[in-house]
């Protein structure tokens, strides 16, 4: 299994901090030089992909290896190459008329700031150019170039950093390259270490039940299981805060001097916004998968967005599903968490599930208003929960058993749930039993 350890690191001295800053600044400078050369060739050749690979990266590697060490310089260039390949892939998908997953024209890889305006201190270390020792005094050692070793008296060719906190995975079979950066939001150096964990760490599902998820932004996840449980994770407040930050970023950008495109404050807002969203998503995935594992779920179906965007696309929908929700990133995170529990995750089409009446099957006589779905046949239910139940029936090809009262979760910046049912907390609420549909199949009314 592929997993990631993310942790804070702390230099052991002022000299050590300067070594680390110089290392990350040189990494950003090398990235910018490689990226600039490739961008110029891309523009000169009217977007021809082959042109960006004609840059003399060997010369640039030689220019920076005395500071970074050759292994790190090679990794920076390799990572920039990956960014350009990802850009061309997105560009191809954007121009593919049969693929609506990329609605906005992708942009080439960006720069990491200039020295005067404040460089984004971010680097990458090859997997054999660093070592980590976990224990009572965990530490990280990374290779640095001769110039940094000589100028700042770093011991040998390695810089030693103290690791703050405990790892998620201290036992692993293989380590990947290390990402290292300075987090301006809380003035901390951080590292991210991909590792390959033994399959022995993987749990085995307790049964062969199934769950289906309806993904949105007003309600981040609506889940229905074949055990008769339903969960609703609300997202309005999260999206409102995301949008407020986006407006503040736009306001600050409008006040920048001509020729400037960002500032330290804008970059901090971007990072704070992303961290807040990612923290909520990670906690949601963990909370949901642990609940599904306890119920014996071994397969989770997620509704894909392609068909939905083709029929219901709007500016706000695009902002929620791509910018705020980051659908692909969420599904990858959910699949990664589910793998620990032996649960498989599959993305399937959920077209029209949000408009289909579970009583009469009509999609033309139904009306959706915010969270409510009504039908001329008399059905009145929660739109997202109804959609997840309909989606589940499509995948299992069997009628979903009568539902328990759905559980609604709200985010308090730390957790999605408190004390589990039957001892409810303010953040875990059961819907009123009077709102359950009279035939017991689908929970109805506003949650």
Residues 214 and 193 in one domain: no
pLDDT in tens, the chain (447 residues): 888 899 999 998 888 899 999 999 999 999 999 999 999 999 988 778 788 898 899 999 999 999 999 999 999 999 999 999 999 998 888 888 777 667 778 899 999 877 766 778 899 999 999 999 998 889 999 999 888 887 666 566 689 999 998 888 888 889 999 999 998 777 899 999 999 887 776 788 899 999 999 887 678 899 999 999 999 998 888 888 888 998 999 999 999 888 787 888 888 888 888 888 888 989 999 999 999 999 999 999 998 654 444 444 444 555 555 566 677 788 888 998 998 899 999 988 777 777 888 888 888 888 888 788 899 888 888 888 988 999 999 888 887 776 778 899 988 888 886 334 433 433 444 443 333 343 434 333 332
**For tokens 């909520």, what's the residue?**
280
Final residue before a domain boundary, out of 200, 228, 258: 200
Would 290 be classed as within a structural domain? yes
β-pair type (344-349, 297-304): parallel
Residues 214 and 190 in one domain: no
Would 410 be classed as within a structural domain? yes
Residues 171 and 237 in one domain: no
Q: Is the peptide bond before 422 cis (omega within 30 degrees of 0)?
A: yes
Euclidean distance between CA atoms 383 and 35, whole angstroms: 46
Residues 99 and 229 in one domain: no
Q: How many domains does the chain have?
A: 2
> Closest Cα to residue 292, out of 243, 342, 326?
342
Q: Provide the token pair at 66.
A: 């005395």
Would 445 be classed as within a structural domain? no
> Closest Cα to residue 415, out of 305, 282, 221?
282
**Cβ proximity of 305 and 215 under 8 Å:** yes
Final residue before a domain boundary, out of 153, 174, 200: 200
**Cβ proximity of 76 and 123 under 8 Å:** yes
Range(s) of the domain holding residue 279? 209-435
pLDDT given at position 316:
54
Q: Is the C-alpha dihedral spanning 287, 238, 188, 112 positive or negative?
A: positive
Q: What is the pTM of this model?
A: 0.70
Question: Going by C-beta distance under 8 Å and a sequence separation of 6 or more, which residues neighbour residue 123?
Answer: 23, 24, 27, 28, 68, 72, 76, 179, 180, 181
Helices 70-95 and 14-44 meet at what angle, rounded to 10?
40
Would 447 be classed as within a structural domain? no
Euclidean distance between CA atoms 312 and 314, whole angstroms: 7
Residues 165 and 251 in one domain: no
> Closest Cα to residue 210, out of 198, 228, 195?
228
């Amino acid at each position: 299994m592929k997993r990631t350890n993310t942790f804070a690191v702390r230099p052991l001295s002022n000299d050590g901090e300067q070594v680390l800053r110089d290392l990350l600044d040189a990494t950003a400078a090398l990235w910018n030089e490689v990226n600039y050369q490739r961008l110029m060739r891309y523009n000169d050749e009217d977007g021809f992909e082959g042109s960006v690979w004609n840059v003399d990266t060997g010369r640039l590697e030689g220019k920076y290896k005395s500071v970074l060490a050759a292994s790190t310089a090679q990794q920076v260039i390799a990572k920039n190459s990956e960014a350009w390949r990802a850009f061309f892939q997105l560009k191809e998908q954007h121009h593919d008329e049969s693929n609506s997953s990329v609605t906005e024209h992708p942009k080439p890889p960006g720069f990491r700031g200039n020295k005067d305006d404040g460089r984004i201190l971010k680097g990458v270390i090859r997997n054999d150019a660093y070592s980590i020792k976990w224990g009572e005094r965990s530490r990280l050692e990374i290779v640095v170039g001769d110039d940094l070793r000589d100028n700042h008296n770093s011991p040998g060719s390695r810089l030693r950093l103290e690791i703050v906190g405990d790892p998620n995975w201290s036992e692993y079979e293989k380590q990947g390259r290390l990402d290292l950066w300075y987090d301006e939001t809380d003035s901390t150096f951080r590292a991210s270490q991909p590792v390959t964990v033994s399959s022995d760490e993987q749990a085995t599902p307790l049964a062969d039940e199934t769950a289906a998820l309806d993904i949105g932004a007003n309600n981040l996840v609506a889940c229905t299981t074949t055990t008769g449980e339903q969960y609703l994770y609300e997202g309005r407040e999260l999206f409102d805060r995301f949008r407020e930050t986006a407006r503040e970023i736009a306001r600050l950008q409008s006040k920048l001097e001509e020729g400037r495109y960002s500032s330290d404050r804008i970059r901090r807002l971007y990072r704070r916004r992303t961290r807040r969203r990612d923290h909520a998503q990670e906690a949601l995935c963990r909370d949901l998968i642990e609940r599904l594992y306890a119920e014996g779920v071994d397969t989770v179906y997620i509704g894909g967005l392609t068909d939905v965007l083709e029929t219901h696309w709007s500016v706000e929908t695009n902002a929620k599903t791509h910018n705020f929700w980051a659908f692909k990133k969420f599904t990858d995170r959910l699949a990664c968490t589910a793998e620990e529990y032996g649960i498989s995750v599959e993305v399937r089409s959920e077209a029209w599930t949000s408009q289909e009446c579970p009583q009469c099957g009509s999609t033309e006589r139904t009306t959706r208003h915010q969270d409510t779905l009504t039908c001329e046949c008399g059905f009145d239910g929660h739109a997202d929960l109804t959609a997840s139940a309909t989606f589940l029936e499509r995948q299992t090809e069997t009628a979903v058993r009568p539902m328990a009262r759905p559980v609604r979760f709200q985010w308090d910046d730390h957790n999605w749930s408190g004390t589990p049912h039957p001892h409810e907390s303010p953040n875990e609420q059961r819907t009123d039993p009077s709102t359950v549909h009279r035939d017991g199949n689908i929970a109805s009314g506003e949650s």
